[in-house]
Amino acid sequence: MSKKEIVIKNDYEKIIIDCDTIITNWIFPTFPFTLDIYINDGITLNSKVILNLNQIDGNINIFSTNNTNCLIKMGLKLFSNNKLQLNHHLLGNENKSDIELRIIQENNYLSTITTLGKIFPNTYQNEIKTQLKVFQKDDYKIICEPKLIVLTDDVIANHNVTIKSFDNEELFYLESKGIENKKAKSLQMEGFLNHILK
Amino acid sequence: MLKINNLTIKVSNNELLHDINLEIKPGEIHALMGPNGAGKSTICKAILNHYSLEKSGTILFLNKNITNANTDEIAKMGIFYLSQNPMEIEGISNAELLRSALNEKNEPLDIFKFNKLCNTYCEQLKLPKSFIHREVNVSMSGGEKKKNELLGMLFLKPKLIILDEVDSGLDIDAIKIVSKTIKEYQKTSNCALLIVTHQPTLLNLLKPDYVHLIMNNTILKTGKNSLLKEILEQGYEHFGANIITKKENEE
């Protein structure tokens, strides 16, 4: 597996993944951007990262042709207003897509996170799973939209959104180890994001 | 060490336990026994000031009133609670949890000393050394969870250990490891134990000094080995017949 850091410097970038690749980091600009990622036939793209987003406005489009494997797990800590759309287009056949975003809005701003899975007509045996998991901190608001457009019958497609908040029993457990409430809450949030790296 | 005076516990205005009195001295082993739903675990959680319980009366630990103290402060004073179903905490490794707990106690360990101790304790508990890097209790069997909690106990060096049905779901070999670890720690630390259990195996291994029978919302009877035998031989129903009049202390 080759390792790659994605750094977006222009408002439009195009990347072709032509060998099995792990994306170790994503660096987004503060200006609006579109990133298109093309995964070639038979290639695996893998990325498990925790990112801090601050005033991000971007669209990431992933295009898979045939027999690709795309595993993206992102923990997103959102500071200020952010708008991020992650789209996976399955253009061909026998692709596997597993996208999980774990999200915490860290302060009193409003962010919008959208995922779109689009399975094109006349394709077969694709599998797509998209999960948005939100940790509700205080009363901070966040808009999450999991979208799925399925234009073929031969597909396994799942998407879901879950919302979690501070769990009193977990906090009691951590406090019973001598960890004070504030630190216990911070551990719970860190754990929520870090779980994708484990 | 621990003194509970006239403790009454309510949940949502329903009285669960009434007028509980209990004293545990350093090095002593006390067992709480009683039928399901009698309130044994509730007493354990009340000592840790669980958020769901309303209490009247007092709980003193090392002569300090901890009735309404924060749970973390109580733990830092030296009370360790091992529940029957330890929580699974995603994304946090055992190492992160224990290092945080030690830092909070102002007893930080440098990474070399921490790893050295970890190797010793894992060997003692027959756990692989990599165990310390696993997420807290996530995807662990019942036995692994209990051993994992004991790993925490060895690091945190408590003065009072509360074992709340720690033997539930454990096979006989796992119970032996648990009791051996606790016994060895007790020998060196002179800590006290408060055990909640239904099973004779753990009690036979740990040999409590005192047994308290909890029924009808209170401690109905306190005794020594003879009470334990009576309970194990005759069951709780035997005590149900004369519960009101026969509140006696075998001491």
B247 domain-assigned: no
Chain centre to alpha carbon of residue B57: 21
Statement to judge: residues A156 and A111 lie in one domain: yes
pLDDT at residue B247 is higher than 50: no
| Chain B: residue whose CA lies nearest to A193 | B91
Residues 6+ apart with CB under 8 A from B43: B4, B7, B9, B17, B20, B22, B32, B214
- Which carries the bigger pLDDT value, residue A116 or residue B230? A116
Residue B60 has a CB neighbour count (10 Å cut-off) of: 15
What does the pLDDT read at residue B79? 97
Q: Radius of gyration (Cα) for chain A, nearest Å?
A: 18
Statement to judge: residues A47 and A140 lie in one domain: yes
Q: Which of A62, A24, A60, A27 is nearest to A43 (CA)?
A: A62
CATH number at residue B207: 3.40.50.300
Interchain proximity A195–B101, CB inside 8 Å:
no
Region A144-154: what's the mean pLDDT?
Answer: 95
* Number of domains composing chain A: 2
pLDDT at residue B248 is higher than 90: no
Q: Residues of B at the A interface (Cβ-Cβ below 8 Å)?
A: 48, 50-52, 70-72, 74-76, 80-81, 83, 86-87, 89-93, 96-98, 100-101, 104-105, 135, 152, 156
As a whole number, the mean pLDDT across chain B is 90
Interchain proximity A176–B90, CB inside 8 Å:
no
Report the alpha-carbon distance of residue A94 to residue A124 in Å, rounded: 6
Share of chain A above pLDDT 70, in %: 100
- Predicted model pTM: 0.88
Region A86-113: what's the mean pLDDT?
Answer: 95
A interface test, pick of B76, B87, B88, B106 with most A CB neighbours within 10 Å? B87
Statement to judge: residues A182 and A109 lie in one domain: no
B68 domain-assigned: yes
Q: Where are the alpha helices (DSSP H) in chain B?
A: 40-47, 71-77, 94-104, 111-124, 142-156, 172-189, 200-206, 225-234, 237-240
What does the pLDDT read at residue B47? 97
B172 domain-assigned: yes
SS3 string, chain A, reads CEEEEEECCCCEEEEEECCCEEEEEEECCCCCEEEEEEECCCCEEEEEEEEEEECCEEEEEEEECCCCEEEEEEEEEEECCCEEEEEEEECCCCCEEEEEEEEEECCCCCEEEEEEEEECCCCCCEEEEEEEEEECCCCCCEEEEEEEEECCCCEEEEEEEEEECCCHHHHHHHHCCCCCHHHHHHHHHHHHHHHHHC
Number of residues in chain B: 251
Statement to judge: residues A28 and A91 lie in one domain: yes
Region A164-187: what's the mean pLDDT?
Answer: 95
Statement to judge: residues A81 and A156 lie in one domain: yes
Q: Of chain A residues 150-169, which have a CB less than 8 A from chain B? A: 168-169
Interchain proximity A175–B92, CB inside 8 Å:
no
Instruction: Give how far A186 is from chain B: nearest CA, Å.
Output: 11
B250 domain-assigned: no
pLDDT at residue B3 is higher than 80: yes
Report the alpha-carbon distance of residue A191 to residue A198 in Å, rounded: 10
Statement to judge: residues A66 and A160 lie in one domain: yes
Interchain proximity A190–B76, CB inside 8 Å:
no
Interchain proximity B156–A178, CB inside 8 Å:
yes
* B51, B93, B97: residue with CB nearest A177: B97
Q: B152 to chain A: which residues are within 8 Å by CB?
A: 177
Q: What is the ipTM of this complex?
A: 0.91
* B71, B76, B98: residue with CB nearest A172: B71
Give the range of the structural domain holding residue B121, as residue numbers without chain letter. Answer: 2-240
Statement to judge: residues A111 and A32 lie in one domain: yes
pLDDT at residue A31 is higher than 70: yes
| Chain B: residue whose CA lies nearest to A182 | B72
Region B98-123: what's the mean pLDDT?
Answer: 92
B interface test, pick of A167, A175, A188 with most B CB neighbours within 10 Å? A175
Report the alpha-carbon distance of residue B108 to residue B44 in Å, rounded: 28
Q: pLDDT band for position B250 (50/70/90)?
A: very low
Count how many pairs of residues, chain A against chain B, have C-beta atoms within 8 Å. Answer: 80
Region B174-178: what's the mean pLDDT?
Answer: 87
| Lowest mean pLDDT, pick from A29-38, B59-68, B187-196, B235-244 | B235-244
Interchain proximity B152–A195, CB inside 8 Å:
no
Q: pLDDT band for position A61 (50/70/90)?
A: very high
Interchain proximity B89–A188, CB inside 8 Å:
yes
B192 domain-assigned: yes
What does the pLDDT read at residue A1? 87
Region B136-158: what's the mean pLDDT?
Answer: 92
Q: Which of B152, B128, B19 is nearest to B79 (CA)?
A: B152
Q: pLDDT band for position B243 (50/70/90)?
A: very low
pLDDT at residue A62 is higher than 60: yes
B248 domain-assigned: no
What does the pLDDT read at residue A141? 87
Interchain proximity B70–A188, CB inside 8 Å:
no
Q: pLDDT band for position B249 (50/70/90)?
A: very low
Statement to judge: residues A188 and A93 lie in one domain: no
Statement to judge: residues A175 and A148 lie in one domain: no
Report the alpha-carbon distance of residue A184 to residue A172 in Å, rounded: 9
Query: For B100, what's the count of Cα atoms within 13 Å in the CB-facing half-sphere?
Result: 24
What does the pLDDT read at residue B199? 80
Statement to judge: residues A127 and A98 lie in one domain: yes
Residue-wise pLDDT tens digits, B75-95 = 999 999 998 889 999 999 999
Statement to judge: residues A190 and A143 lie in one domain: no
Residue-wise pLDDT tens digits, B24-74 = 999 999 999 988 888 999 999 999 999 999 999 999 999 999 999 999 999
Give the range of the structural domain holding residue A176, as residue numbers without chain letter. Answer: 167-198
Statement to judge: residues A161 and A171 lie in one domain: no
Q: Which two structure tokens, joined as six digits, stand for A78? A: 């959102």
pLDDT at residue B245 is higher than 50: no
* Number of domains composing chain B: 1
pLDDT at residue A151 is higher than 80: yes
Residues 6+ apart with CB under 8 A from A190: B91, B92
Instruction: Give how far B66 is from chain A: nearest CA, Å.
Output: 13
